[in-house]
Amino acid sequence: MQKSFDDWNHLKKDIHNRENHRFFKQGEIWWINLGVNIGYEADGKGDCYERPVLILKKYNQFSFLAVPLTTANKENPYKLSIGKIEDKDSFINTSQLRYVDSKRLTNKVTTLDKDLFLVIKQKTSQINFG
C-alpha cells in the first residue's frame, strides 16, 4: 500500500505552525491529526490523517500520552474494550501509546465515564511491555 508521506508533511507543517493549543483533560476522547506513520504504526485516516485517541495522561497544557482507538476487534492482549464511541464498538490499542502535542487535537468526541477511565488506567498500568 502506497502512503502519502508528502501530503502528510505539508499538513504537518501547518499543524506545527498553529498558534493555539486546545484545552483538554485526561479521560477525554479526541480526534487528532495522527498522520502517516511507518510500517504497522497506527495511521490517521482521510484528508486530515485523523484518528480518535483517548487521553490517558496529561503531562502539561501542551502535551499528553494518547492511546489510539480502533473498531477492529482482533484478539490481542494489548487491546481493551471501552464500549461504544460514536455508535461503534471501540477498543484502545495500548501497543500504540504515544506522546502527543496538543496542536494535533481537532475535535473532542466525549469524556469517558470516570469509573471506566479508572479501570482502563489500572489495566494499562499492569500491561507487561517487556
Residue 88 within any structural domain of the chain: yes
Residue 9 lies in a domain: no
Q: In this structure, is residue 32 part of a structural domain?
A: yes
99 in a structural domain? yes
In a domain, 96, yes or no: yes
pTM of the model: 0.91
Phi, psi of 92, rounded to the nearest 5 degrees: -95, 145
Q: Answer yes or no: is 7 within a domain.
A: no
Between CA 62 and CA 57 the distance in angstroms is 12
Residue 66 belongs to some domain of the structure: yes
Structural domains counted in the chain = 1
CA gap 20, 6 in Å, rounded = 24
Structural domain for 81, as ranges? 21-126
User: 41: domain CATH number?
Assistant: 2.30.30.110
In a domain, 13, yes or no: no
Q: What is the pLDDT of residues 74-117, one digit of tens each?
A: 888 889 999 999 999 999 999 999 999 999 999 999 999 999 99
The model's confidence at residue 73, banded by pLDDT at 50, 70 and 90, is confident
Check: CB of residue 88 under 8 Å from CB of residue 12: no
